[in-house]
Amino acid sequence: MLRLKHTKAYGLPGGFLKYDETLEQAAERTLKERTGLDNIFLKQFKVFSNPDRNKPQKPNPEFLENEPPEVVEFFKKRFISIGFYALVEFSKVNPQPDALSEACEWISPFADIEMYLDHKNIIDKALTTLRIQLNQQPIGLKLLPRKFTMPQLQKLYETILGRELDRRNFQRKILSYKILNKLNERKTGGAHKAPFLYEFKRESYKKALEDGLSGDW
- Model confidence over 142-192: pLDDT tens digits? 899 999 999 999 999 999 998 999 999 999 999 999 999 999 998 887 656
The domain that contains 156 carries what CATH number?
1.10.10.10
- Report pTM: 0.83
| Closest listed residue to residue 185, CA positions, set 177, 174, 197 | 197
In a domain, 62, yes or no: yes
Q: Looking at the structure, do residues 86 and 160 belong to the same domain, yes or no?
A: no
In a domain, 120, yes or no: yes
Q: Between 6 and 47, name the one with better pLDDT.
A: 47
The domain that contains 110 carries what CATH number?
3.90.79.10
**For residue range 46-103, what is the model confidence (pLDDT) as tens digits?**
999 998 887 655 555 778 888 888 888 888 888 999 999 999 888 888 899 998 899 9
Question: Which residue, of 132, 164, 181, is where some domain finishes?
Answer: 132
- Are 171 and 150 spatial neighbours (Cβ–Cβ below 8 Å)? yes
Q: How many domains does the chain have?
A: 2
The torsion angle over the Cα atoms of residues 82, 125, 36 and 140, rounded to 10 degrees, is -130
In a domain, 217, yes or no: no
Q: Looking at the structure, do residues 114 and 63 belong to the same domain, yes or no?
A: yes
In a domain, 109, yes or no: yes
Q: Is 184 helix (H, G, I), strand (E, B) or coil?
A: strand
Q: Looking at the structure, do residues 112 and 59 belong to the same domain, yes or no?
A: yes
pLDDT at res. 60: 58
Q: Looking at the structure, do residues 21 and 74 belong to the same domain, yes or no?
A: yes
Burial of 29 (0-12, 13-18, 19+ CB in 10 A): middle
Burial of 21 (0-12, 13-18, 19+ CB in 10 A): middle
Give residue 82's domain range.
Answer: 2-132
Q: Looking at the structure, do residues 14 and 112 belong to the same domain, yes or no?
A: yes
pLDDT exceeds cutoff 80 at 2: yes
Q: Looking at the structure, do residues 74 and 97 belong to the same domain, yes or no?
A: yes
Q: Looking at the structure, do residues 62 and 123 belong to the same domain, yes or no?
A: yes
Burial of 190 (0-12, 13-18, 19+ CB in 10 A): exposed
In a domain, 216, yes or no: no
